[in-house]
């Protein structure tokens, strides 16, 4: 009979994690609570028949070390979406236990235990994971039979939809099995995030964000609201912003003159999460570059100046013509970035 442990989130899980690792190393399977009912973990040498097993995964670098090709879209999903009920099918020529037709499946389940379990079992080699389709630990244990060595009981778990399966390569992505992770979230999370940074996030960076949306939408022949589905997500923030404020009245008015809309803008401060999620960070002045480097060294891509090697002066407190000239300068320099983002 397997060992059965009741999951208690208030108790130190280190012993449970150790038992999980020891059980897998000994050649038995482990039943854990997951995001679609209960999950089974086992090593490839163990004979278990469950549909669509995947390799238990956490970070892109660890997956790449297995000889797997990871596209930019796949990296974004690993960083922005995981852990989640989302299986990624990635191109590979390596001999992996879940590889079929030169694609291998990877899964990072959404349950607090996996934050600790995955690093603890990384040295065991590929560990397989699959949904059992069961809402109780007892049913999952019965399904695995003699293969189960450890069962973690977290009470009845909602099953709902299965995990979404997404095939991702350098040409793009497609859903091969729809499930709990929605398509609109995939569109949003695989988009290229372009982050504009100024001081208070009320004048320059909101204008840059709004005008960039307008330029890209015109280039792609879509509305600004459709940009995430077309692969682009524009954001802005300030190195000294408090958050929750609106764009300056003059910035809103000038944006409207140029076909952009800042009326729904809410200011936000720069933070590590924004920087780590961004693909491009574009600052208005050298002082913004220095602030980013000093406070967030090594977080996200290297920030660049919007105006090449020149600062963009802050129009705050000035008249409408100064704001118009600021907008014209932003547009002129954004034109340099558009080919980089969408191709000429």
Nearest-angstrom CA–CA distance, 170 and 183? 19
Q: 258-292 b/e with 16+ CB inside 10 Å = b?
A: bebebeebebbebeeebbebbbbbbbbbeebbebb
Is 198 annotated in the active site? Answer: yes
Length of the chain measured in residues: 344
To which residue do tokens 């009470």 refer? 155
Is 167 annotated in the active site? Answer: no
The whole-angstrom distance between residue 248's C-alpha and the CA centroid of its chain comes to: 31
Catalytic residue, from 167, 204, 230, 252: name it. 204
Nearest-angstrom CA–CA distance, 242 and 179? 39
- Using alpha carbons, select from 124, 109, 88 the residue that is nearest to residue 35: 109
DSSP assignment string, 20-67: HHHHHHTT-EEEEE-SSSEEEEE-TTS----SS-EEE---HHHHHTTT
Catalytic residue, from 115, 169, 279, 314: name it. 314
Q: How many CB atoms lie within 10 A of CB 325?
A: 14
Catalytic residue, from 36, 108, 198, 203: name it. 198
List active site positions.
198, 204, 314
């Amino acid at each position: 009979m397997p060992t059965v442990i009741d999951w208690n989130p208030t108790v130190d899980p280190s012993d449970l994690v150790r038992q999980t690792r020891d059980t897998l190393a000994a050649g038995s399977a482990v039943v854990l609570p997951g995001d679609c009912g209960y999950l089974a973990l086992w090593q490839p040498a163990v004979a278990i028949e469950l549909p669509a097993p995947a390799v238990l995964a956490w970070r892109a670098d660890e997956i790449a070390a297995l000889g797997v090709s990871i596209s930019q879209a796949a990296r974004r999903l690993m960083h922005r979406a995981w852990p989640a009920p989302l299986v990624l099918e990635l191109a590979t020529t390596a001999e992996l236990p879940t590889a079929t037709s030169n694609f291998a499946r990877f899964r990072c389940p959404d349950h607090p235990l996996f934050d600790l379990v995955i690093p603890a079992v990384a040295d065991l080699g590929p560990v397989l994971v699959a949904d059992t389709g069961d809402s109780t630990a007892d049913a999952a244990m019965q399904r695995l039979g003699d293969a189960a060595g450890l069962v973690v009981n977290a009470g009845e778990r909602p099953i709902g939809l299965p995990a979404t399966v997404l095939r991702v390569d350098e040409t793009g992505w497609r859903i091969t099995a729809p499930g709990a992770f929605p398509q609109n979230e995939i569109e949003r999370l695989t988009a290229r995030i372009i982050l504009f940074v100024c001081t208070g996030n009320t004048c320059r960076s909101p204008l840059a964000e709004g005008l960039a949306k307008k330029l890209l939408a015109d280039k792609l022949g879509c509305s600004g609201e459709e940009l995430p589905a077309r692969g682009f997500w524009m954001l802005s923030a300030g190195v000294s912003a408090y958050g929750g404020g609106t764009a300056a009245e003059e910035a809103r008015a000038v944006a409207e003159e140029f076909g952009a809309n800042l009326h729904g803008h809410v200011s936000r401060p720069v933070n590590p999460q924004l920087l780590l999620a961004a693909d491009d960070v574009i600052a208005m002045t050298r002082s913004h570059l220095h602030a980013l480097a000093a406070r967030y060294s090594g977080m996200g891509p290297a920030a660049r100046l919007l105006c090449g090697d020149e600062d963009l002066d802050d129009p705050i407190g000035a008249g409408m013509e100064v704001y118009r000239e600021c907008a014209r300068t932003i547009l002129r320099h954004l034109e340099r970035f558009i080919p980089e983002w969408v191709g000429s």
